[in-house]
Structures are given as structure tokens and as C-alpha cells.
Amino acid sequence: MGTVYLIGAGPGDPGLLTLRGARILRRAAVVVHDALVDARILAMAPPQAERIDVGKRYGRSFPQSAIHHLLIEAARRARTVVRLKGGDPFVFGRGGEEVAALVAAGVRFEIVPGVSAALGAAAYAGIPLTHRDHASAVTFVTGQENPARDQDRIDWQALAKTRGTLAIYMGVHHLRDIAAQLIAGGAAPDTPAAVVESATQPNQRTVTATLGDIAEAAQQADIDTPALVLVGAVVRLQRNWFEERRRTRKVRREAAVSGD
């Protein structure tokens, strides 16, 4: 019986994978991975390793029970099985369900944390999640709830009262409704908000607006998944170093080509 390693691959930039994650990946016999995992991270596994894409994208899903079955079956024939997940395995990653299935089947497991999208998006968009003067709390919340859990829906109106930073995963397609509920709960319509698309990746884009306008601004900019929404006073402190550096380099390259 092998061991299943649930490894967080981080939000995109392969440099954000942990050293421990990379070390295990380099000796993996089977890699069961999400769609959002960067090809350069997958390439760290040995060439002969079996790679299985169980990726889920908006509107299409690979049954979770089938993933459990795959992991258990792989552990029966291989010594090192890697379950490579975007971000961190235990932050909106269904890692808890996978661990429960492995435990029930008597399969050994380990968990290697990853840089979750909220951390990656905040860092690469240059927005501090907390700040001594502006936010003493940060809440990670999903904008897309499990439809089977009707009785304990997210209380957006209560979240509006926390006054900390909200980091909303999977919220971009529900942004109009989420913003309306936060405002109904007492959040000021002019609270700063940002949507970071494809955070930490070369095509990262950040749109900022007020909470009242953010849904419209994201739609106008044609923002798509994966995207992370940040709401709170800290958005006003943004220093967009990553996108600005990319723009500067592009201008320099174009100038070099045209001989200016």
C-alpha cells in the first residue's frame, strides 16, 4: 500500500510550490491533478509518472466519488501517489472529503499545504490582507455554496458587519448578488473592492472599483474564472507591482524592437 500526498500547488506561478511539495512530486508514480495546475509543476514529476487530469472547470465536473476511487486504487499499486490541487488542499479544495475517503479505505496520507488563491492574489495584486490601521480580520468565503446545504447559507449581511477584509473565492459569477447582500447588511457602497483574475500568472488582471460598482466593472472588463474578489479598506492601499512590472517590460521590449 502506498501513500497519498495531498499537495497544494499554489495559485499558478510554479515558483510558489513548496520545497516539500516539489521533493515529493519528483518521486511520484501517479499524479492526480486539477485542471488549474501549471504545466511546469506537472513537468516536475518523473516522465514515466502516470498523470491523471480530474480537473473541474466552471460548468463541468468530474464526480468527487470517482476521484476518491482513483486515489485509493492508485495507492494499491503505487508507492507515491500525489493528489495535486490548486492553491491549498484544505481551502475550498475538498481535501477534507478526500482525506475521509482515504481514512475509510485504510490508505496512508500526508498533506502538504500550498499558497491559497487569496494569499497569492493579494500578494501579486499588492493588496495587504490585513493592516494595523485598516483591517484586523480577514475572512475566506466561497461565493458558490453547496446547493445541498440549504439550512446554513452564508450570512452575507452578517459578514458585512465584520469590517475586516473579505476574500471571496468562486464569487465572480455571483458578484452582483453578493455585493447587493453586503450593502443590504450595512457595508458602505463605496467600500473599495478588487477582482484579481488569474492571480500570479503572466496574464493576471486586476479590476478595482467600489463595492457598489465592482460587478459592473468586472463585467465590463470581461473578467473570467479563476478570479478572486477582495473587499475592504485595504484595497485602497494597492501597489500593483506585478502587473506594472509586466507592462514596463513590455514597453521596453517594444521600444527595443522598434529601435527607440
Stretch that binds ligand SAM, among 14-22, 97-105, 129-137, 221-229 (CB under 6 A): 221-229
Which residue, 208, 204, 145, is CA-closest to 178? 145
Which residue, 45, 44, 54, 55, is CA-closest to 81? 45
What span, in angstroms and rounded, lies between the C-alpha atoms of 101 and 97?
Answer: 6
Question: Which C-beta is closer to ligand SAM: that of 55 or that of 212?
Answer: 55
Active site residues: 34, 56
Kindly identify the residues of this chain, within the stretch 111-140, that bind ligand SAM according to CB under 6 A.
116-117, 121
Stretch that binds ligand SAM, among 61-69, 87-95, 211-219, 236-244 (CB under 6 A): 87-95
Alpha-carbon separation of residue 86 from 89, 145, 161, 169, 188 (angstroms): 7, 18, 30, 12, 33
Tell which one of 82, 88, 98, 218 touches ligand SAM (CB under 6 A). 88
Tell which one of 227, 231, 234, 235 touches ligand SAM (CB under 6 A). 227
Question: Which C-beta is closer to ligand SAM: that of 9 or that of 78?
Answer: 9
54 near ligand SAM, judged by CB under 6 A: no
What span, in angstroms and rounded, lies between the C-alpha atoms of 246 and 149?
Answer: 42
Which residue, 71, 75, 100, 72, is CA-closest to 85? 71
Kindly identify the residues of this chain, within the stretch 56-85, that bind ligand SAM according to CB under 6 A.
85
List beta partners, residue 139: 166
Q: Which residue type, as a one-letter code, is found at position 239?
A: R
Tell which one of 72, 75, 199, 234 touches ligand SAM (CB under 6 A). 199
Report DSSP letters for 8-66, one per residue.
Answer: E-BSS-GGGS-HHHHHHHTT-SEEEE-TTS-HHHHTTS-TTSEEEE---BTTB---HHH
Kindly identify the residues of this chain, within the stretch 30-49, that bind ligand SAM according to CB under 6 A.
36
Question: Which C-beta is closer to ligand SAM: that of 160 or that of 223?
Answer: 223
Question: Which C-beta is closer to ligand SAM: that of 14 or that of 93?
Answer: 93
The three cell numbers locating residue 60: 463541468
Q: Which residues bind ligand SAM (CB under 6 A)?
A: 11-12, 36, 85-88, 91-93, 116-117, 121, 169-170, 196, 198-201, 225-228
